[in-house]
Structure 1
Amino acid sequence: MATTSVGSIDFPQRKATGLRFQDRRRLFLLALTIPAVVYVVLVALWPLAQGIWYSFFDYNLLRGGGRRTFVGLANYAELLTDSTARRALINTFVFTFAAVALEFAIGLGLALLLWRDGRFNRICLAFLLIPVTITPVVVGLIFRALLAVDYGFFGYYLAEWGISGPRGFLASTTAALPVVILIDVWEWTPLVALILLAGLKSLPGDILEAASADGATALQRFRMIVLPLLLPTVFLALVLRVMDAFRVFDIIFVTTGGGPGDATNSLMVFGVKQGLQFFNIGFASAIGNVAILCIAVLCAVFTLLIRRADVRANER
C-alpha cells in the first residue's frame, strides 16, 4: 500500500474505488426503487396484462379443464349488444357526471365559505371531514339502514307520509340511482372542498388586495383572478373524483346490489357479477378494460378543457 509522508509520519493512502460519488448515489437510488418497481409490476402491470389477454378469449371457469377459446373482440362487441351491459355503462356515466358535478359545485361553495382563517371555520372543517374518514361500505350500510322502510330513521316516515312509496327509495326504479348519487355526494364533497380550499389558501393575497383596491367586486375578483389561478387545483379535484366515481362499486353493491332490476347497475358491479358470480372471466376482463379506457378518455378530456381554459385566462 502506498504511503504519504508528512514530516516524519507516514499515512497510508486509500485505494480508489473506481466509482465517483455521483455514480454511487445513482446506484443507491436505483437499489431503493427496485422493490417499488417490482411491486408495481406484480400488483398492477401483470394483472392488467392478464386482463387484456383474457378479454380476447371465451374463458369460463365453470367449464371443465378451464378451456379457453379465442374469440377476438367478441367480448367487447357484447358490451354494445347486451342490454344489461349497455344499461350498466349508461348508469356509470350518469352517476359519474352527476356526482362529480354536484360535489364540485357544493365543494367550491364550502371552500369559499371556509377560506378565511378563524376558529369557527377550523371547527367546521374538522366536522366536515368526518364523512371522508368513513369507508364507502360503511357509508352504504348506514344509509341503507336509515332509508329502510320498516325500521329506518328516515325511511319509515318517508314511507308513512307517502313520499318514498311502500318499498322505499332504494327499491324504486326511478329514485334509486339519484339516491345513490346523493349518498356519494354526501361522502366525497368534503374531499373536493378540502382540495379546493388548499388551492384557495395558496393564492397570492397581494393580487386580490390590489384588485379590491381598484374597485373590483367580489364576483369580478372570483371570475377574473381566483378561478383562473385555481384551475390546476380544479383539475386535480375533478380528475381524482372522476377516476373514483367511474369505478364505483362499494356503495351500490351494499345499498341496492345493482337493482332494482338494472336501475343502479354500474360497470364495476356488472363486471364483478360476471367474474365472481358467473365466473365468466373473459367477459369480465373486457368490462374492466373498457372501464380503464373510459377513465383515461375522461381524464384526457378534462386535461384538454382545463388547459384550454388556462390558455384563455392567461391571454386576458
Structure 2
Amino acid sequence: MSIATTAIPSPRQPSRRKSLRFDDRRQLFLLALALPAVVYIAAVAIWPLVQGIGYSFFDYNLLRRGGAKTFVGLDNYVQVLTDGTGQRALINTFVFTIGAVFFEFILGLGLAMLLWRDGRFNRICLAFLLIPVTITPLVVGLIFRALLAVDYGYIGYYLAEWGITSPRGLLAGTTTALPTLIFIDIWEWTPLVALILLAGLKALPGDILEAAFADGATSWQRFRLVILPLLLPTVFLALVLRMMDAFRVFDSIFVTTGGGPGDATTSLMVYGVKQGLQFFNIGYASAIANISILCIALMAAAFTLLIRRADVKANEQ
C-alpha cells in the first residue's frame, strides 16, 4: 500500500526593493531643497536677463501701434556709445564709481585702523558709524536735497548766502552737482567699507603681527609688509561690492537732480530708466542695461587680476 505524498509549497520570500544609497538620497534631498530657489532665480533673474538681451537687438517701442519689433542687430549698442547723451552717461557713471569707491576705501581703511582695538569707546563709535548704512539711498537723497536747498536748507542757504556756492546751489551747478553726489555716496557707504575691512583686520593672525613687532618693524612697515598683504582678500571683497553697487547708482541721483542740470549727473541707470519708462523705448533701454552689466563684469575682472598679482607679489616677498 503506497501512501501518496503531496508537495507542500514553500512560503514565498518577500521581494526586496532596491533601495537608494544614502549618498543618493542625500543628493535628492538637497536638490529638493534647492529647487524652489533655482526656480525663483530663473523666473526673476535669468529669464528677464535673457529677454533683455533679446530685446536689445530690436527696435522695440511700446508706443508703436501693435508693438511691432524690427531687428536692428547691434544698432542700439552703437547708438548708446555714439550718442552724446549716452556717452555723457557712461562717463558720468565711471567718474562717479571711481571717485566714490576710491575715497570710500581710503576713509574706510582709516576708520577700520582706528577702530581695530577692542574698547567701549570704539564699540560706541562703531554703533554710531553704522547709522548711515541703515538709511536707504532714496531717503539719503531726500535728506541731502533738503539740506542743500538754497532757500530753506540748513547747509545750502548759508553756502549761497556767504558766496561759497552759486545762488542756485550745489546740486544745480553743472560743475558741482556730480561731486556733490559723490560726497553723498561717500557719506553713506564709507561705514560699510570700514566694517568689512574691520572684520578682516580682526581676523588677522596675532602671532605674525607680534613677530613683526619683535623684529623691530615700524608701524608703516608692519602695515605695508604684513597687514595690507594679509588684508588683500577683504580689500577685494569691499572694492568689488562697492564698485558693483556704485555703478548701478540710481536712487540718490533720481531724487536729487534727476540727471540734471542738463546731462551733468545722468548715469547709465538713470538714462536707461528714462528711455524705458518715460519714452517706452524697450530695445534701447535693454541695450543700456546690458552695457552696464558688461562694464561691471569687466571692472570685477580687472579687480580680480590686480588683487591676484598683488597677492602673488606679496607671497614672493
For the superposition of Structure 1 and Structure 2, which TM-score range results when normalised by the shorter chain? over 0.9
Map of 2:9 onto structure 1: none
The aligned runs of 1:142-181 (5 Å cut-off) are 142-181=143-182
1:78 equivalent to 2:79? Answer: yes
1:257 and 2:258 aligned = yes
Indicate the residue corresponding to 2:112 in structure 1.
111
Distance, in Å, in 1 between the alignment partners of 2:78 and 2:249 is: 23
Q: After superposition, where does 1:35-74 map in structure 2 within 5 Å?
A: 35-74=36-75
- Give the letter aligned to residue 167 of structure 1: R
| In structure 2, distance between residues paired with 1:80 and 1:145 | 35
Task: Tell me the equivalent position of 1:28.
Answer: 29
CA deviation after TM superposition for structure 1 residue 30, in Å: 0.5
Residue equivalent to 1:9: none
Moved runs in structure 1, 4+ residues, more than 6 A? none
CA–CA distance in structure 2, aligned partners of residues 136 and 17 of structure 1: 58
Give the corresponding residue for 1:4: none
What is the letter of the counterpart of residue 193 of structure 2?
Answer: V
Between the aligned residues of both structures, percent identity stands at 78
Cα distance in structure 2, aligned partners of 1:81 and 1:175: 26
Match of 2:131, as an amino acid? I
CA displacement 1:21-72 (0-9 Å, x = unmatched): 1111111101011111101100000000000000000000000110000000
Deviation at 1:167, TM superposition (A): 0.8
Amino acid at match of 1:181: I
Q: Which amino acid aligns with 1:163?
A: I
* 1:91 match: 92
The CA distance in 2 between the partners of 1:205 and 1:114, in whole Å, is: 16
Shift of residue 16, structure 1, vs aligned partner: 5.1
Asked if 1:267 is matched to 2:268, the reply is yes
User: Rg larger in 1 or in 2?
Assistant: 2
Q: 1:81 Cα deviation (Å)?
A: 1.6
Give the unaligned 5+ runs of structure 1. Answer: 1-12
Separation (CA, whole Å) in 2 of partners of 1:298 and 1:20: 45
TM-superposed deviation, 1:15: 5.4
User: Which residue of structure 1 lines up, in the alignment, with residue 136 of structure 2?
Assistant: 135
Distance 2:278 2:197 in 1: 40
Superposed displacement of residue 14, structure 1: 11
Question: 1:15, 1:181 → 2: CA distance?
Answer: 70
Corresponding letter in the other structure for 2:129:
L
Q: CA RMSD in A?
A: 1.2
- Amino acid of the residue matched to residue 66 of structure 1? G
- Name 1:287's counterpart in structure 2: 288
With the length of structure 2 as denominator, give the TM-score of the two structures.
0.95
Find the aligned partners of 2:15 and 2:314 in 1 and give their Cα distance: 61
2:218 is matched with: 217
Mapped to 2, the partners of 1:42 and 1:151 lie a distance apart of: 46
- Shift, 1:17, TM fit: 5.2
> Relative to structure 1, is the Cα distance of residues 167 and 213 closer, same or farther in structure 2, using a 3 angstrom cutoff?
same
- Give the residue type in structure 2 aligned to 1:190: P
Q: Specify the alignment match of 2:243 in structure 1.
A: 242
Question: What secondary structure, in the 3-state scheme, does the structure 1 residue paired with 2:302 have?
Answer: helix
Q: Which amino acid in structure 2 is aligned with residue 158 of structure 1?
A: L
Stretch of structure 1 that moved more, 134-143 or 14-23: 14-23
String of CA shifts for 1:245-297, please: whole Å, max 9, x gaps.
00100010011000000000000000000000000000000000000000000
In the alignment of these two chains, the number of paired residues is 305
**Which AA in structure 1 matches 2:135?**
I
Q: Which amino acid aligns with 2:133?
A: V
| Alpha-carbon distance between aligned partners in 2 of 1:145 and 1:14, rounded to the nearest angstrom | 79
1:306 partner amino acid: I
Whether 1:228 and 2:226 are equivalent positions in the alignment is no
